[in-house]
Amino acid sequence: MIIRNGNVVLKDGVQKCDLLIENGRIVKIAENIPANGSEEIDAAGKHVFPGLIDMHVHLRDPGYEYKEDIESGSKAAVKGGFTQICCMPNTNPIMDNKVVVSYVKHKAREVGLCKVHPIGAITKGEKGEQLADIGEMKKAGAVAISDDGVSVKSSRLMRLAMEYASGFDIKCLCHCEDKELVDGGVVNEGLSSTVAGLKGIPRAAEDIMIARDIALAESLDVPVHICHVSTHSGVRLIRDAKKAGVKVTAETCPHYFAVTDELVTGFDTNTKVNPPIREEIDKQAILTGLKDGTLDCIVTDHAPHHINDKNVEYNTAAFGISGIETSFGFAITYLYKTGVLTLPQIAEKMSAAPAKILGLDGGELKEGGVADLTIADLDESFVIDPAKFVSKGKNNPFGGYKLDGVVKYTIVDGEVKYKA
């Protein structure tokens, strides 16, 4: 296959050239590659990115297939431009053993769309009492461990998990939340929670656990990754830790850099997410953190729910936003078009950094590299309509928002898996 005339997003800039793909690898990046009877895709006027990688997704399979399954989640991923996704372990049963890890790997291979990498649980049943079988899960194909959805309450157990994971050359992805401080809160604690009469979650609930996990990583001299950072104070903690040489990486999501918690005063339960959407000071800190490299990755934390989980009063609704089909558009509209990040930086946050953090093949366009590509028209816009999502989860609060950046092709191992 030859991709012709595209604006190719390379590590050090954007170059107008062709890409020649053979046997699932990129064999040549150059101008005017001679035709050799290959299939050709004309990418004139479009941008060719390294295949996007989302290292934080909930596929709900096994156990909650009415919310999402591996097939529907994979279809949504390739439509959103993602060639690789990493799925969190809060399934039913919990992905805390090699059997469930193998099931996810096998089912993803059968579906055959994007690459799906399981993330195993840190503790058995995500109960925070006993370590899961980390080595067995790694052998079966888990690329990291996390108790995402809950924090590991015991600092001693978290320490052991970090040491174990490091021994198997995988990372702990930390959901940072002090449950006792959350105390039944449903939105960010601040003016909007007061106006709405909804119980607030203080920033300290997130920050205390970020600080603890950074302290553990520093004392053990092992790496740690902080999930879905939402607070200005959390960004500061991570920045200071990086300056001190702590091996910490971190991610954030579109709903933390694009909007503020003023949204919750409309009582749309689709705005209910964990950690909560916060205030302008937090949004600006997240943007700065992305710009200065404090925040390494952009993830979706794609959390699909059935309509019945959201079509209830705010306090009892499930937490989560279904966002894998809109994430790239948010990055182009709110980061690239506003001058916060360049295109190579967006490729770094949405592809190279996740690949590096988790040790995945891919993440950049280079000769000899894997032929995972996302081709997009950055000048074409679309209006978000959750009813048209291919994900089973239609729980997205941004219906009616106009975004730039339409994914035209998603190519995995040199094969077209999605075409607009």
- C-alpha gyration radius of the chain: 20
Distance CA 420, CA 329 (A): 14
What is the enclosing helix (H) or strand (E) of 145? strand 144-145
Distance of alpha carbon 5 from its chain centroid, rounded?
30
Q: Which residues of 350-375 are buried (b: 16+ CB within 10 A; e: fewer)?
A: bbbbbbbbbebebbbbeeebbbbbbb
Distance CA 87, CA 159 (A): 23
Residues 6+ apart with CB under 8 A from 106: none
Cα end-to-end span (Å), the chain: 18
Task: List, as own/partner pairs, every contact residues 180-187 make where C-beta atoms lie below 8 angstroms and the sequence separation is at least 24, other chains included.
Answer: 181/205, 181/208, 185/276, 186/272, 186/276, 186/314, 186/315, 187/261, 187/264, 187/271, 187/272, 187/276, 187/277
- Tally of residues, the chain: 420
Please give the sequence-ordered ranges of beta strands (E in DSSP) within 222-372, or none if there are none: 224-226, 248-252, 297-298
CB 97 within 8 A of CB 136: yes
What residues form DSSP beta bridges with 40? 2
301 carries an active-site annotation: yes
Q: Is the peptide bond before 93 cis (omega within 30 degrees of 0)?
A: yes
Residues 6+ apart with CB under 8 A from 353: 249, 296, 297, 363
Q: How far is CA 113 from CA 84, 85, 407, 418, in A?
A: 9, 11, 15, 8
What residues form DSSP beta bridges with 149? none
Q: Which of 133, 282, 301, 372 is catalytic?
A: 301
Q: Which residues of 13-37 are buried (b: 16+ CB within 10 A; e: fewer)?
A: ebeebbbbbeeeebeebeeebeeee
Q: How far is CA 416 from CA 67, 350, 413, in A?
A: 27, 20, 9
Active site residues: 301
